[in-house]
Amino acid sequence: MHYLSTRGHASKPSFSEILLGGLAPDGGLYLPESYPEVSSDELESWRGLSYAALATAVLSKFATDVPEADIAALATKTYTAEVYRNARPGDDAAAITPLRTLEASGGRKLVMQALSNGPTLAFKDMAMQLLGNLFEYTLQKQGAELNILGATSGDTGSAAEYAMRGKKGIRVFMLSPHKKMSAFQTAQMFSLQDPNIFNIAVKGVFDDCQDMVKGVSNDLGFKAQQKIGTVNSINWARVVAQVVYYFRGYLAATTRSDQKVSFTVPSGNFGNICAGHIARMMGLPISKLVVATNENDVLHEFFQTGVYRVRKSAETLHTSSPSMDISKASNFERFIYDLLKGDAARVKALFTKVDTHGGFDLSGKPGSDGDEFSQVRDYGFVSGKSVHADRLATIRDVSARYGLTVDTHTADGIKVAREHWEEDIPMIVLETALPAKFNETIREALGHDAERPAGFENIESLPQRFDVMEADVDAVKRYIVAHTGL
């Protein structure tokens, strides 16, 4: 299988060739030339597979230049009950993404699929843990090394560090805003003592950290010499690893492959739900893909109106579901490419317009950039929005009705899922974090602390290892050189 750029660049790389990279050379995102199809017989044959075996079956369709036995070994090492050990009491950790029926009444069924049982208690571990093993495997084969530079406001940085810790040939340099993350998030990252993990606390805000990463990445000579890479959410392997749990969720919620399910996904960068879109394109019987946003409703606006209008950093609100606080959705271009039936020239024009004019309009109204909004429903997409008061009310309601504490992002999902429930079609809400990560809001909603999984009880009192730095591109460059010796 070969990959193409959503903006039409002529090269057609393989899975391994795009694994360690980010954007295509023309600024587009990578997609497979065509989506592999899964027949209902094949889907049926996957019903009894373990998570690791299912991951092998799905990944083998995309990573055709990696021997299947190697994929199986990597998946088996990644998807274990030991790695995903933070399952709730009563849930089966060996299922990796266990399902829990919240409500079944009449023909209606509301189910939660736990994706946040990995080491950092958020769904990003689902893909990042595999990426750590895939990167190590690929680098060893090439005799190469990689220095990952990233900026984080919380979840992504810790997922990357826990995935890459102790991996041969890999170092992680992670910038975070000094004293601006929650105590729990800070402790999670800074308590890591692995010599290949470097936490850099920048005297500034998240945008300063991101500007420093951009500043380093724009120096192509430095980037090549220091073997700098990234693991941001546009990485294709991350998206593909996420496709697996849509299959798992479907198989766990149905008994026959002529049944349908819907998924509701708390969304920010459109990475998670993009994987659901791909699963649906492969033939998974998904009725609706419900995009749930918070107050930062760029995506909800598009799915309501056909107008995609990105926000400025200053317009991006800080909310109590902070991992969905985005101003533009970096994976959205992948869906637009499919919506435009692979017209790369138009995709390029639209996303150039995002940079120059702050968005585009596919509503079909006079003066718009196209009328494809009318076809969005054919892809199953609908949306909804949840704000702080909804979040609190949902956390309380879920606690009262089902005796369960859910995190703020998952609460946004549940609120929106209820708006799109259909008779006889199970609605699966993806749980994207455990509540312990966002305890401040749990206290506000319930008046008590969220439960902490075993091993996290005293995380804030562990010794912390980090360096403080001014928001200065040259300072981070000097730091990297000093620690890589390259």
Ligand X SMILES: *Cc1c(COP(=O)(O)O)cnc(C)c1O
Q: Which residues are catalytic?
A: 124
> Of the candidates 323, 383, 386, 394, which one interacts with ligand X according to CB under 6 A?
323
When asked if residue 268 is in the footprint of ligand X (CB under 6 A), the reply is yes
Pick the closer one to ligand X by CB: 7 or 437: 437
Per-residue buried b or exposed e for 364-377, using 16+ beta carbons within 10 Å of the residue's own CB: eeeeebbebbeebe
DSSP string over 150-184: EE-SSHHHHHHHHHHTT-TTEEEEEEEETTTS-HH
Task: Tell me the closest approach of the beta carbon of residue 408 to ligand X, in angstroms.
Answer: 8
Residues 6+ apart with CB under 8 A from 408: 320, 321, 391, 395, 433, 435, 438, 441, 442
Over the window 342 to 381, marking each residue x when it contacts ligand X by CB under 6 A and - when it does not, the resulting string is ----------------------------------------
When asked if residue 152 is in the footprint of ligand X (CB under 6 A), the reply is no
When asked if residue 293 is in the footprint of ligand X (CB under 6 A), the reply is no
> Of the candidates 29, 122, 151, 181, which one interacts with ligand X according to CB under 6 A?
122
When asked if residue 384 is in the footprint of ligand X (CB under 6 A), the reply is no
When asked if residue 303 is in the footprint of ligand X (CB under 6 A), the reply is no
Encoded amino acid at 359, one letter = G
Pick the closer one to ligand X by CB: 155 or 333: 155
When asked if residue 452 is in the footprint of ligand X (CB under 6 A), the reply is no
When asked if residue 296 is in the footprint of ligand X (CB under 6 A), the reply is no
Residues 6+ apart with CB under 8 A from 200: 173, 174, 175, 176, 466, 467, 468, 469, 476, 479
Name residue 359's beta-bridge partners: 309
| Piece in contact with ligand X (CB under 6 A), picked from 164-172, 260-268, 305-313, 346-354 | 260-268
When asked if residue 113 is in the footprint of ligand X (CB under 6 A), the reply is no
Task: Tell me the closest approach of the beta carbon of residue 395 to ligand X, in angstroms.
Answer: 14
Task: Tell me the closest approach of the beta carbon of residue 73 to ligand X, in angstroms.
Answer: 27
| Piece in contact with ligand X (CB under 6 A), picked from 213-221, 248-256, 261-269, 465-473 | 261-269
> Of the candidates 7, 124, 328, 348, which one interacts with ligand X according to CB under 6 A?
124
> Of the candidates 271, 276, 426, 435, which one interacts with ligand X according to CB under 6 A?
271
| Sequence-separated contacts (24+) of 355-358 with Cβ below 8 Å | 358/309, 358/310
> Of the candidates 125, 136, 155, 161, which one interacts with ligand X according to CB under 6 A?
155
Restricting to residues 392-421, which ones interact with ligand X according to CB under 6 A?
A: 409
Gap between the Cα atoms of 40 and 293, Å rounded: 32
Q: Do 363 and 307 touch, CB atoms closer than 8 A? A: yes
When asked if residue 270 is in the footprint of ligand X (CB under 6 A), the reply is yes
Give me the residue label for tokens 């902070």. Answer: 322
Q: What share of the chain is helix, strand, coil (3-state, %, to 5)?
A: 45, 15, 40
Gap between the Cα atoms of 412 and 390, Å rounded: 7
Name residue 297's beta-bridge partners: none
Query: Dihedral of the CA atoms 246, 252, 256, 261 (nearest 10)?
Result: -50
When asked if residue 340 is in the footprint of ligand X (CB under 6 A), the reply is no
Query: Which whole-number Å values give the CA distances from 367 to 303, 337, 341, 360, 362, in the listed order?
Result: 19, 21, 21, 11, 10
Encoded amino acid at 59, one letter = L
Q: By CB under 6 A, how many residues form the interface with ligand X?
A: 16
Over the window 214 to 253, marking each residue x when it contacts ligand X by CB under 6 A and - when it does not, the resulting string is -------------------x--------------------
DSSP state of 362: -
Gap between the Cα atoms of 358 and 335, Å rounded: 18
When asked if residue 322 is in the footprint of ligand X (CB under 6 A), the reply is no
> Of the candidates 185, 287, 383, 432, which one interacts with ligand X according to CB under 6 A?
432
Pick the closer one to ligand X by CB: 138 or 410: 410
Phi, psi of 351 (to 5 degrees): -80, -20
Task: Tell me the closest approach of the beta carbon of residue 276 to ligand X, in angstroms.
Answer: 10
| Piece in contact with ligand X (CB under 6 A), picked from 182-190, 210-218, 270-278, 370-378 | 270-278
| Piece in contact with ligand X (CB under 6 A), picked from 85-93, 267-275, 276-284, 417-425 | 267-275
Residues 6+ apart with CB under 8 A from 194: 165, 166
| Piece in contact with ligand X (CB under 6 A), picked from 86-94, 143-151, 269-277, 470-478 | 269-277
Which residues of the chain form contacts with ligand X (CB under 6 A)? 122, 124, 155, 233, 266-272, 323-324, 409, 432-433
